[in-house]
Amino acid sequence: MEVVVVVVVVVMVVVVVVVMVVVVVVVVMVMVLVMVMVMVDRKYFGVHGPRGYGVLSDQPASGRTRFKLVPRTRRPN
């Protein structure tokens, strides 16, 4: 009977550890993905980008992009 209890406890601990590791990996992957998106967005579609605005660069975090959006978009290509 004690062996069954020990096996059940070990299995539960392993499952909890695996779930925690999976959650941590997913969170890290999402953070890296967001960082890469921000970097790519700033590099190609930021203030100095070809279109003058990007997916993320028109948010307040990037500062001056909001004010450069209007003249940049009205200019004919």
**25-35 residue pLDDT tens:** 999 999 988 88
The answer to whether residue 63 sits within a structural domain is yes
Residue 65: pLDDT over 50: no
The answer to whether residue 18 sits within a structural domain is no
Q: What is the pLDDT of residues 43-59, one digit of tens each?
A: 655 554 444 444 444 44
The answer to whether residue 9 sits within a structural domain is no
Q: What is the pLDDT of residue 38?
A: 74
CB 42 within 8 A of CB 53: no
Report how many domains make up the chain: 1
Distance CA 51, CA 44 (A): 9
pTM of the model: 0.44
What's the pLDDT band for 39 if we cut at 50, 70, 90?
confident
Please indicate whether residue 59 or residue 36 has the higher confidence score (pLDDT). Answer: 36
**Residue 52 domain boundaries:** 36-77
Distance CA 47, CA 41 (A): 10
The answer to whether residue 75 sits within a structural domain is yes
